[in-house]
Amino acid sequence: MSETLAPTLADTASAPDLASRPHALPRVQHAQPYSSRSIRSFVLRQGHMSPAQRRHLDEMMPRIGLPYRPAPLELDAAFGRDAPKILEIGFGMGETTARIAAARPDIDYLGIEVHSPGVGALCKLIEEGGLANLRIIQHDAVEVLRDMIGDGALAGVHIFFPDPWRKARHHKRRLIQPDFIELVARKLAPGAYLHCATDWENYAEWMLGALSASSLENTASGFAPRPPYRPLTKFENRGLRLGHGVWDLIFKRKPPVAHKELS
């Protein structure tokens, strides 16, 4: 089951007005079709796990973790109910994910993250908050989308602050690429949304160019105001106080075109 959850401009606050600038949209490199050897949604980095993170990961993942399998996942069975499903790719330490899920207990959230400290941190937040509407897959998001998520199964996808790969020679490693966008689009129900956010201006422009050239439809005239459901993180608040920008992009899957029957 899914419903249209994309926010309207009337529900949102103000955001940096990059879209009104008279610059051309950036050229976006076309990625190769996704495979096990293609671009991944993460880069392996060593991270320290606290004893609490390790304990919660070990205790909670058997209860709320979903193992990766190259086979379709029955989302309603995984959550034990029929409700809209929203996927978050790369939830980091999970603070934002937990706050969003706590605020919307009527929606189910599936978080994907590969780094164990972040998975352990979110497991801790899930237990402390008694969040029954959150599940975790610790695996590459591209393979999860491709192999486990059915077409049209999602009410929304969140991708908040992905690695911007700042150097030009590394732009091909960015997650937001044309083929990846179309992969996400297939998994969205008609009217469902993809919400990206970044604090790196060049990546914001890159995302806008790639998304505007896709089959998805922008919900704003350019960059979108931050919707109320995405809370500000401590890092983001500090950056805003220093005058740094944050850009949100919210695109939705177009509803099917109704064809009149010939009489």
Q: For the chain, which residues make up each domain, given as ranges?
A: 9-38+48-252
Residue 183 has pLDDT above 50, yes or no: yes
Spatial separation of the C-alpha atoms in residues 114 and 97, rounded to whole Å: 15
**pLDDT value of position 26:** 44
Catalytic residue among 76, 147, 163, 199: 163
User: For 193-212, what is the mean pLDDT?
Assistant: 96
**46: CB partners within 8 A, 6+ apart:** none
Convert the pLDDT of each residue in 143-173 to its tens digit. 999 999 999 999 999 999 998 866 777 688 8
Among the listed ranges 24-28, 149-153, 219-223, 253-257, which one has the minimum average pLDDT value? 24-28
User: For 106-132, what is the mean pLDDT?
Assistant: 97
Greater pLDDT, 35 or 163 = 163
CATH number of 9-38+48-252: 3.40.50.150
What are the residue ranges of helices labelled H in the chain? 51-64, 75-79, 95-103, 116-129, 141-148, 178-187, 201-212, 234-241
Residue 193 has pLDDT above 90, yes or no: yes
User: For 125-133, what is the mean pLDDT?
Assistant: 98
Residue 215 has pLDDT above 70, yes or no: yes
Question: What backbone phi and psi angles, to 5 degrees, belong to 93?
Answer: -90, 0
Mean of the per-residue pLDDT values for the chain?
85
Q: Quick check: is 11 catalytic?
A: no
pTM of the model: 0.82
User: For 20-46, what is the mean pLDDT?
Assistant: 44
Residue 258 has pLDDT above 80, yes or no: no
Greater pLDDT, 167 or 134 = 134
Spatial separation of the C-alpha atoms in residues 165 and 218, rounded to whole Å: 24
